[in-house]
Structure 1
Amino acid sequence: MKTTISQVHKYVDQEVKIGAWIANKRSSGKIAFLQLRDGTGFIQGVVVKEDVAEELFQTAKSITQESSVYVTGVVQKDERSPLGYELLVKGIEVLHQSVDYPITPKEHGTEFLMDHRHLWLRSRRQHAVMKIRNEIIRATYEFFNEQGFAKVDPPILTGSAPEGTTELFATKYFDEDAFLSQSGQLYMEASAMALGKVFSFGPTFRAEKSKTRRHLIEFWMIEPEMAFVEFEENLEVQEQYVSYIVQSVLKNCTIELKTLGRDTSKLENIKAPFPRISYDDAIKFLNEKGFDDIKWGDDFGAPHETAIAEHYEKPVFITKYPTSLKPFYMQPDAEREEVVLCADLIAPEGYGEIIGGSERIHDYDLLKQRIEEHKLPLESYQWYLDLRKYGSVPHSGFGLGLERTVAWISGVEHVRESIPFPRLLNRLYP
């Protein structure tokens, strides 16, 4: 029976055939242990010399790392294995013998591993991170589908920018200027006026010259937008969504979390509701903690966010930032014009902001005024203003950065490990 490693539990004490690669191996005089991987998981294949032909045992001893094979064997329960099973090997068909595989079972430097990212992905650790990323994506679609959202795909090439053009990649669109999208939000607002509740999932680009462990040049965003939803309701959707994906990973990625050595007790606590702290109170808190350099009107840096997050065991919302710090489209607080109805969701354990969201301005005159104040070209935003001209309603939305979320839930230190092929300030290869 041909199967995959993830499905061997269905065939205990039965003979199966698996297409796999040799992740690693070790052998003694009488037994060879093959670490097999097939993309769905890892399993140990055991070759006992006295139970197989001499030729097969020699093949098992001599086969090289990352050679591809068809392995035939009997599935056996094994409590010591992370998978719970091992394979008693009866046959090996070598498909391709790998020669001098560059990533050996020893320590390699980060730059070396990044240069060989196309191969590093095969490692047990990177496999685990990618499986967790996949589960977050799967759970994202499940959550929003269950909540009645429609998936909408905004354009990647745009003629205008939601947050100004200083950090955009410019390109030519025939004889016009165009930009790679830094957010699909404006288009999602238009979609929400047609479909009520929508979400997008796609790549975004920021030409920000940052080298921190939290930043990528190209990353993926989940951007929901909701008509007839105001500030507090928006926060509730965010905390429900984040709780949902964390619990889905805990349920469906047990082996992967164990492979990464993740302290799952910290994740088990991630359930709505999440704590909230206003920007005003956050400034006071930081000043009391010895951050004398920050005052009202300043934006938070990574040390500030981390200090606030360490005070809580769950992600924390920092709400109602000064208008001057935020993009032009955010709705002012009716009681305090100098702040806007927005929130950043800060992940625990130093992973920083994973969500930015707000209620959007729904008044035509105010939005036009904000566009002019930000010195943005009015003609480029005419279609966006139209949304406030024809049946405008209160509406809200947010954007979750997938890679920071993957890094946090996985417990990996740097976002470069949370995307298959990271684009960094100094890296466009491979």
Structure 2
Amino acid sequence: MIKSTIAELPKNVDKEVKIGAWIANKRSSGKIAFLQLRDGTGFVQGVVVKSEVGEELFQTAKSLTQESSVYVTGLVQKDERSPFGYELLVKGVQLIHSSVDYPITPKEHGTEFLMDNRHLWLRSKRQHAVMKVRNEIIRATYEFFNENGFTKVDPPILTGSAPEGTTELFATKYFDEDAYLSQSGQLYMEAAAMALGKVFSFGPTFRAEKSKTRRHLIEFWMIEPEMAFVEFEDNLVVQEEYVSFIVQSVLKNCALELKTLGRDTSKLEKIKAPFPRISYDDAVKFLQEKGFDDITWGDDFGAPHETAIAESYDKPVFITHYPTTLKPFYMQPDPNREDVVLCADLIAPEGYGEIIGGSERIHDMDLLEKRVEEHQLDTETYKWYLELRKYGSVPHSGFGLGLERTVAWISGVEHVRETIPFPRLLNRLYP
């Protein structure tokens, strides 16, 4: 007897295996019972034929309730009708634990109900598929940066300062001084880049934004690379190559999950570098021509503006050279225009909005000191950050990719709350 997982069944065709599983669903007739089995690695149908297993085992199979846990033995068979391509001809069923009154039944449930039961909703086929896509993006992220000479560095989550101001930060007491939950590891990653050249971080970040849009979470995960001796244009190349890599990895390794989610993969197949670019100046003109009378030069773009721009392209699009007044203090001004900075936001297609923000960083000590003063930041708090420009300063660049928005776009789900196991929203800290 071979002990197997559902994912390993294709390697055991025409062999008898034993799997541990839960009953996701079932249906039966007088002579055959169909058990929808899941074990975390995948889903497969178990077929119980009364004439082959006998009355007692058949009745056991028929009586199994949703989410009961079982050991199942059976013969692995190919099945072209199955999305998975295989099924299990059941020979034996051993009940481990009987589930009673499982709350998420095979019917429509409201969003709030499902969110209250997120610890159980994760078990569904759709949520399983989203989590598998998320996992593949994470796996591909490590592969991309490891293969391209980056070193993984972990910045602190508790910080004494804020890279983009303190208005949207969660404050806490750090013994006898103030501290904040990190909204970005970027400043620390710049220090790491001065030591290790090319680095990336991957960790949780927190924004105390009172936003309820489908693109926002209070707690989310960021991938933040920083690169010494890399200027603006080369930074964009790394971004488009990275995004292309993770999309193609998902297409290759999550075909079944994308099918489960009903994702139009033809749109993802087009996601290959290079990506189109449009300057902020041209984006404003484009929007005005499209009838957005509310937008003038110097205004930030909202979701409708980003979506209108993205609809003109079938790939992610860079919006570059935003006004200096719209961006954080650390961004390098365009040498030809002091009113704009060398930055870019990468806007995903299909209305998913900004997935990357990045820029070349200021490397001139005098200019950075001036910016700190202009933004009314405490010089002493940022002393260490300023010292990076004092001891061997070099041109350097970086960016941050929001994992959950990227998962939402690639998997095709509407709301980011489905892209993280336990979402933290404005009105939700449970479960």
**What TM-score results when the alignment is normalised by the length of structure 2?**
1.00
Q: Could you list the per-position Cα deviations for residues 167-225 of structure 1 after superposition, in whole angstroms to 9, with x for gaps in the alignment?
A: 00000000010000000000000000000000000000000000000000000000000
Q: What letter matches 1:74 in structure 2?
A: L
Q: Could you list the per-position Cα deviations for residues 306-335 of structure 1 after superposition, in whole angstroms to 9, with x for gaps in the alignment?
A: 000000000000000000000000000000
Match of 1:53 in 2: 54
Q: What letter matches 1:18 in structure 2?
A: I
CA RMSD, 1 decimal: 0.3
Match of 2:163 in 1: 162
Shift of the alpha carbon at 1:53? 2.0
Per the alignment, in what secondary structure is the counterpart of residue 70 of structure 2?
strand
User: Which stretches in structure 1 are left out of the alignment for 5+ residues?
Assistant: none
Residue 388 of structure 2 is aligned to residue 383 of structure 1? no
User: CA separation in 2, counterparts of 1:365 and 1:165?
Assistant: 24
User: CA separation in 2, counterparts of 1:200 and 1:39?
Assistant: 28
Match of 2:297 in 1: 296
Q: Could you list the per-position Cα deviations for residues 29-57 of structure 1 after superposition, in whole angstroms to 9, with x for gaps in the alignment?
A: 00000000000000000000000021110
User: CA separation in 1, counterparts of 2:57 and 2:380?
Assistant: 73
User: CA separation in 1, counterparts of 2:369 and 2:422?
Assistant: 40
Match of 2:281 in 1: 280
The equivalences for 1:140-289 within 5 A come to 140-289=141-290
User: CA separation in 2, counterparts of 1:263 and 1:10?
Assistant: 29
Per the alignment, in what secondary structure is the counterpart of residue 429 of structure 1?
coil
Residue 424 of structure 2 is aligned to residue 420 of structure 1? no
User: CA separation in 2, counterparts of 1:326 and 1:405?
Assistant: 22
Match of 2:368 in 1: 367
User: CA separation in 2, counterparts of 1:126 and 1:240?
Assistant: 28
Residue 36 of structure 2 is aligned to residue 35 of structure 1? yes
Match of 1:395 in 2: 396
User: CA separation in 2, counterparts of 1:185 and 1:136?
Assistant: 21
User: CA separation in 2, counterparts of 1:375 and 1:210?
Assistant: 26
Q: What letter matches 2:316 in structure 1?
A: P
The equivalences for 1:66-145 within 5 A come to 66-145=67-146
Q: What letter matches 1:354 in structure 2?
A: I
User: CA separation in 2, counterparts of 1:293 and 1:369?
Assistant: 32
Residue 357 of structure 2 is aligned to residue 352 of structure 1? no
User: CA separation in 2, counterparts of 1:45 and 1:321?
Assistant: 57
State the identity as a percent. Answer: 87
Shift of the alpha carbon at 1:139? 0.1
Q: Could you list the per-position Cα deviations for residues 64-111 of structure 1 after superposition, in whole angstroms to 9, with x for gaps in the alignment?
A: 000000000000000011111000000000000000000000000000
- Regions of 4+ moved over 4 Å: none
User: Which stretches in structure 2 are left out of the alignment for 5+ residues?
Assistant: none
Q: Could you list the per-position Cα deviations for residues 315-364 of structure 1 after superposition, in whole angstroms to 9, with x for gaps in the alignment?
A: 00000000000000000000000000000000000000000000000000
User: CA separation in 1, counterparts of 2:56 and 2:284?
Assistant: 72
Per the alignment, in what secondary structure is the counterpart of residue 399 of structure 2?
strand
Per the alignment, in what secondary structure is the counterpart of residue 199 of structure 1?
strand
User: CA separation in 1, counterparts of 2:136 and 2:315?
Assistant: 21
Aligned length: 430
User: CA separation in 2, counterparts of 1:228 and 1:134?
Assistant: 31
